[in-house]
Amino acid sequence: MNFLGYKREYGSVGTRNYVGIISTVVCANEVAQAIADKVQGTAAFVHNQGCCQTQIDIDRVNEVLIGLANNPNIASVVLVSLGCESTNIELVIEGIKAKGKWVEVVVIHEIGGAARTIAEGCLIAQEMVHKASILKREPCPISDLMLGLKCGSSDTTSGLAPNPALGVTSDLIVNAGGTSILGEVTEFIGAEHLLCKHAKSKELEHKILDYVKKMESRAMSVGCDMRGGQPTGGNIKGGLSTIEEKSLGAIAKAGESKIQEVCEYGVKPTKKGLVVMDSPGREPEILTGLAAAGCNIIAFTTGRGAPQGFPFVPVVKITGNKKTWVKMRDHMDINLQEVMDGTLSIPDAGKQILENIIETASGQKTKAEVSGYTRSMNIYTVGPII
Amino acid sequence: MTIDAIILNKLDNVATALRDIKEGENVKIGLADAETGRKLSETISYGHKFALKKIKIKENIIKYGEIIGCATEEINAGMHVHVHNIESLRGRGDIQSGE
């Protein structure tokens, strides 16, 4: 099975071909967004980090920005810096150049204000887009897919239809030699013993349990029942009563494959196959983490109808809730209500998702892309804002 | 086979409604290829759970064959099972702090 992708010089394959306009710090977001709004063929990445944080988080911001810039859906990069942030710009540039990727930086303090920086950034971006547009899509095997797995705005239908179906899809991609990344460690709580059965080694099992312990301790450290936050108010309205119930439905997305690697947030895996990544369940942070890890496509299951997409990675929405399919149809890509009705099997539903993923990877737009609902992004940090 | 609710594992003591069900309705409940019937004593919304048998206070709630929490009060068969009568056993900072 093939899809039509953009072959990058460094070996990865893109499903999109954007010029990334990447803000290096929260304070440069306006300029980055303005450049992207003006120049067709660009995608902005803006976030709330990059300054007044402890070193552990600054290191993470540096790494995640490099990861995002090196995502195969990005042809070249304009970094937008204020000029006084903690983000290490030289390090970020070096990390992008290491891939042989064209990167330029515009610094607001040096150029002198927003208007002039926007103008200069636009001129660079226009040249980059023009050059990027020369690249044509070519047939690529589905082993070149790196699929991000996500569920959000879940209800009980999520664990019954779209999540197990996506598990089948994930297995099909993994068996074909591709990669699939499961994050949302919060949603391992209460189901980690089942997930650990899929770990390839004891070492990976311990790593998964350690991530769960850290995530649970963080939730417990505030001294209250996390219910209402996890599961969310919407999850509860949808019939999910506890985090354990939500988790048992959520891990079905990972299918039956063996876990080959367990990665830190936003880090590109070194192995193919099923990978677990440390991350919370909230949309902006996990979508960003999956993109920074190199995912060229994301499959996102939802019960109540999550509309969020990401600036430069297509996010395919899958629901099994017939009410959501009708009411939120402008945001949903795949309807699996037949699974709930008992007229479509989970394996067939998984194949249906794979077909959509191949079409989307080849250029078919997602509902999130056509509706412009693509700004769900932020870097997950663990320390305080100081 | 059209069913009104589903049991995901034979160990489960709750079922999930596949449509909005009114109090007093007799419903068909599926477990794999088998089917049972039950009268519901409360209105259950689409996607919500109800008890398949009497569940004692502190008894575990089982769905997918796994523990999803425990009962905070006695729950009779056919009653709605949700946040008002069950609680999570995980991430409980309130219990940890001894409150």
Q: What is the DSSP string of A322-366?
A: HHHHHHTTTT-SEE-HHHHHTSS-HHHHHHHHHHHHHHHHTTPPP
Tell me which residues of chain B have a C-beta less than 8 Å from any C-beta of chain A.
1-3, 6, 8, 16-18, 30, 45-49, 61, 63-64, 66-69, 81-83, 86-97, 99
- Interacting residues of A150 by C-beta distance below 8 A, sequence separation 6+: A183, A184, A253, A283, A286, A287, A290, A298, A299, A300, A301, A315
- For B60-98, write each residue's pLDDT tens digit: 999 999 999 999 999 999 999 999 999 999 988 888 654
Which tokens sit at A2?
């093939």
Burial of B37 (0-12, 13-18, 19+ CB in 10 A): exposed
Could you say which residues of chain A have pLDDT below 70? none
Q: What are phi and psi of A254, to 5 degrees?
A: -85, -5
- pLDDT attached to residue B99: 43
Compute how many other C-beta atoms are within 10 angstroms of the C-beta atom of residue B36. Answer: 14
Cβ separation A230–B91 shorter than 8 A: yes
- For A62-78, write each residue's pLDDT tens digit: 999 999 999 999 999 99
Cβ separation A189–B91 shorter than 8 A: yes
A190 in Cβ contact with B67 (< 8 Å): yes
ipTM score: 0.94
CA–centroid distance for A26 within its chain: 19
Nearest by CB to B88, from A157, A244, A323: name it: A244
- pLDDT attached to residue A319: 98
Cβ separation B66–A190 shorter than 8 A: yes
- pLDDT attached to residue B98: 46
Burial of B47 (0-12, 13-18, 19+ CB in 10 A): buried
Compute how many other C-beta atoms are within 10 angstroms of the C-beta atom of residue B26. Answer: 10
- pLDDT attached to residue A227: 79
Q: Position of tokens 């009114």?
A: B22
Q: For residue B32, what is the nearest residue in chain A, using CA coordinates?
A: A342
- pLDDT attached to residue A225: 79
Q: For residue A337, what is the nearest residue in chain B, using CA coordinates?
A: B18
- pLDDT attached to residue A221: 85
- Reported as a pLDDT band with limits 50, 70 and 90, residue B1 is low
Nearest by CB to A224, from B3, B68, B94: name it: B94
